[in-house]
Amino acid sequence: MAKQSLPTTNFDYEFGGPVGAFATMCSLPVVIVLLILWADLGYISFDFDELEAVFVSLGGTDLSSYKLSVCILFSWVAGCVLLTALLPCTIHSGVQISPTGGGKKFSLKYLLNGHLQFWTTLLALFLGCSLNFSRKLLADCTQTASTTSSYLSYFTASASSCASPNQTQNYFYAVSFGSPFPLLSLLHGLLLPLSIVTVVFSAFVSVLLYVKSFSKGAVLAPGGDSGNLVYDLFIGRELNPRLVKDPETSKSKHNYVFNNLAHFDLKEFFELKPGLIAWVVLNLAMLSAQHSNLGYTSGSMILLNLNQALYVWDALYNEISILTTMDITTDGFGFMLMFGDLAWVPFTYSIQGYYLVKHDPMLSLPSLALIACLNVLGYKIFRGANTQKDVFRRNPTSEACKDWNYIDTKRGTKLLTSGWWGVARKVNYTGDWLMGLSWCLTCGFGSVVPYFYAIYFAILLVHRSIRDDHFCAVKYGDDWGRYKEKVPYRFVPLIF
């Protein structure tokens, strides 16, 4: 059995403790659904009848939509696992981990091939769309899958399907009016049921992860081992759940796939692959649906797709950087990250695109250019700071770091005080937020709904910076105070 849980009293709870964790788990799925309904409407509404009508029109009460969504979700996650196992990869060591309750420090190896997976998925999607593969596949399905045949027959019914019932109309208008990418438009039409199915799946996996955390040898995250079921399920009890417990001893000489899977880290996988790549695919679905809906693809939609794809590409291109982030080194893997990675990120981060499908603000070229500049500025700060820290953490004595200032600490790890890290202690968050703001601005000022991201992200980053400040104060003691004196501002020099 894993180490005994700590008593619930005296535990340093975050997120409002068990009550806060429970409230968060119940409320965030509702927020996803509301955002989708509001983005479709184009404004915030609390009129129950109005919301119910949109819910129905978006397939929220249609059983066949849920069945298809389950198929899509399972195929997607399974496809991502397969690509992770099959594509060429590099294996990298993570930071040193101190097991809970003492014991020898160790570092885990991680299988990295997210960047290749990103391009492989997009290429497959492109080929699928351009060869009209999807239509043929769906037509074939109608002969074999009796349960979905009535549903899919709408899809092949061409223009006549315009008169189909409300909830099905959504998926098929794209085909009927000649969508360039019918499969993508199908995803747009299924967004609501797909999001609900993903939430349920995330919750189910979180429960499995919680149960797995009691298996022999599991290394626990100190912050997720309170002994309170609800809280630990939310935060995540096990630090690095893996498919294979002891990769070195179970390595096979000849089996490439097995050896890859031996380093398959569930948290790293869900953090970077199915959710993030799904976000880009959903954005493309919005682009395709906008074309079907409005008859054109707007500048806002193109810019949004490019900017958000850059963000995802960057995360996967710099996959190695994730190994030094708080999510990997400190937090357990539970509902917070599982739901966040697989449900929250793709379905709420794509909400601007969803809004633009029906509510294009027709921004002028100069406005779009200004927004693009803001995104570039944010990206420069975000990438500059994260790369600096990553290079420094990997090898502070390397040639690249020779002119950088830092302070030595009793803990042994140095703290950078020059470059971006001399500007503000969380300047990487500032850059990230500026990019997020630029995405919202592509939707104009017609509604507050697409600004949800900037508002939510500001709250997340402030809260996250407080958490990290607390962790660092514990890790570094007095040295953290010395560092804060040298770099007094958190986000923006002289202001915040």
Binding site for ligand NDP (CB under 6 A): 324-326, 382, 386, 389, 392-393, 413, 415-416, 421, 428-429, 432, 464, 468, 471-472, 475
Our CB check for ligand NDP shows the closer of 172 and 354 to be 354
326: Cβ–Cβ under 8 A, 6 or more apart, which residues? 464, 467, 468, 471
For β-strands 415-416 and 406-407, DSSP reports them as antiparallel
Nearest distance from C-beta of residue 430 to ligand NDP, angstroms:
9
Nearest distance from C-beta of residue 55 to ligand NDP, angstroms:
27
335: Cβ–Cβ under 8 A, 6 or more apart, which residues? 25, 202, 203, 206, 233, 234, 236
Nearest distance from C-beta of residue 214 to ligand NDP, angstroms:
27
The two three-digit tokens of residue 429, written as one number: 């968050």
The two three-digit tokens of residue 426, written as one number: 């969380």
Nearest distance from C-beta of residue 404 to ligand NDP, angstroms:
9
Q: Tell me the CB-side half-sphere exposure of residue 360, using CA atoms within 13 A.
A: 22
Our CB check for ligand NDP shows the closer of 339 and 421 to be 421
| CA separation, residue 166 to residues 39, 56, 246, 471 (Å) | 18, 8, 53, 51
Our CB check for ligand NDP shows the closer of 287 and 472 to be 472
Our CB check for ligand NDP shows the closer of 113 and 348 to be 348
Our CB check for ligand NDP shows the closer of 212 and 393 to be 393
Our CB check for ligand NDP shows the closer of 148 and 468 to be 468
Nearest distance from C-beta of residue 29 to ligand NDP, angstroms:
17
Q: Residue ranges of the alpha helices (H) in 265-419? A: 266-272, 274-294, 299-317, 326-329, 335-339, 345-349, 351-358, 365-394
Nearest distance from C-beta of residue 325 to ligand NDP, angstroms:
3
CA distance 367 to 360: 14
Are the C-beta atoms of 417 and 406 separated by less than 8 Å? yes
Amino acid residing at 3 = K
Our CB check for ligand NDP shows the closer of 180 and 396 to be 396
Q: Is the dihedral of CA 362, 366, 367, 369 positive or negative?
A: positive
Nearest distance from C-beta of residue 276 to ligand NDP, angstroms:
9
DSSP H or E stretch at residue 395: none
Nearest distance from C-beta of residue 235 to ligand NDP, angstroms:
15
Are the C-beta atoms of 353 and 297 separated by less than 8 Å? no
Our CB check for ligand NDP shows the closer of 187 and 416 to be 416
